[in-house]
């Protein structure tokens, strides 16, 4: 990671990587969504309403995974003083908030025909809603610290403290009686309870949305680096 500490070196890698992640991600998402809508059979219990899983599951995965990335950036900022860590955190957080919101929205849409209600104060749903509010809190705190010209250490600490919520989200279906179903698929081993003819589009959308996430974060980091350079140039001119 220290090899990317130089902004110029990072930009040389980020520029081509953005395009590759963007276009490959769009292609995989399009293929996965098309397969999920038009190729896979309807679920034997939930019918066609289960097709929303091809958006809901990747959004849930990225909503949680993004906070892990946010905490990793915070750790690099606090321990190794990585010069791009705070910029990475500010770039990552809004994207994570977006995916957390999509997860909540699609889960609510899915829950209406499945559970008979748009919302339930279920352990999984409630902890995911808390994660969304944590994202908003981080975004506000990071923006306030940047406005004051500080290094963003409070936002970094907030990101590390917020990690406590991730195992609560993951294990909530085991710890409490819950409407939300248990884990149907594992990307870290453990197999899947979803039939293969229904699972393959899900793998495509998960990978595709992950690449889109990477593309958006890289674009946001590049934009912020450009802003930082412009502000530094204006300060130098003002000092002359």
> Domain boundaries in the chain?
55-180+200-240
Closest CA to 128 of 78, 187, 61: 61
- Six-digit token string for 49: 């309403």
Of residues 40 and 197, more confidently modeled = 40
pTM of the model: 0.89
- CA pair distance 126, 208, nearest whole angstrom: 27
Q: Which tens digits make up the pLDDT trace of 105-132?
A: 999 998 888 778 888 888 888 999 999 9
- Six-digit token string for 102: 């999509």
- CA pair distance 85, 152, nearest whole angstrom: 10
- CA pair distance 230, 176, nearest whole angstrom: 51
Angle at 160 between CA 78 and CA 143, to 5 degrees: 75
DSSP 8-class letter at 187: S
- Six-digit token string for 56: 């809901």
- Which residue's structure tokens are 């350079």? 229
Residue pair 27/208 in contact (Cβ under 8 Å)? The answer is: yes
Interhelix angle 123-148/153-161, nearest 10 degrees: 170
Does pLDDT of 33 surpass 60?
yes
Residue pair 99/206 in contact (Cβ under 8 Å)? The answer is: no
Mean pLDDT of the chain: 86
- CA pair distance 127, 217, nearest whole angstrom: 24
Closest CA to 132 of 160, 162, 175, 87: 162
- pLDDT score recorded for residue 192: 57
- pLDDT score recorded for residue 184: 58
- pLDDT score recorded for residue 238: 73
Q: Which tens digits make up the pLDDT trace of 179-213?
A: 556 565 554 455 555 777 788 999 999 999 999 99
């Amino acid at each position: 990671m220290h090899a990317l500490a130089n902004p110029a070196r990072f930009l040389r890698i980020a520029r081509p990587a953005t395009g590759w992640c963007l276009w490959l991600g769009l292609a995989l998402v399009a293929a996965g969504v098309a397969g999920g809508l038009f190729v896979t059979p309807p679920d034997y219990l939930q019918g066609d309403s289960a097709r929303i899983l091809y958006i809901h599951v990747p959004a849930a995965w990225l909503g949680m995974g993004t906070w892990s990335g946010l905490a990793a950036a915070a750790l690099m900022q606090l321990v190794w003083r990585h010069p791009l860590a705070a910029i990475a955190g500010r770039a990552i957080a809004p994207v994570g908030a977006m995916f957390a919101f999509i997860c909540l929205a699609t889960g609510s849409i899915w829950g209406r025909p499945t559970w008979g209600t748009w919302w339930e104060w279920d352990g999984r749903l409630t902890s995911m809603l808390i994660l969304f509010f944590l994202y908003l809190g981080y975004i506000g705190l990071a923006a306030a610290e940047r406005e004051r010209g500080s290094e963003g250490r409070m936002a970094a600490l907030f990101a590390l403290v917020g990690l406590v919520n991730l195992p609560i989200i993951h294990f909530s279906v085991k710890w409490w009686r819950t409407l939300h179903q248990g884990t149907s698929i594992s990307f870290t081993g453990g197999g899947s309870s979803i039939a293969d003819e229904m699972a393959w589009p899900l793998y495509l959308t998960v990978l595709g949305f992950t690449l889109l996430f990477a593309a958006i974060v890289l674009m946001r980091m590049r934009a912020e680096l450009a802003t930082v350079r412009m502000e530094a140039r204006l300060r130098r001119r003002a000092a002359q």
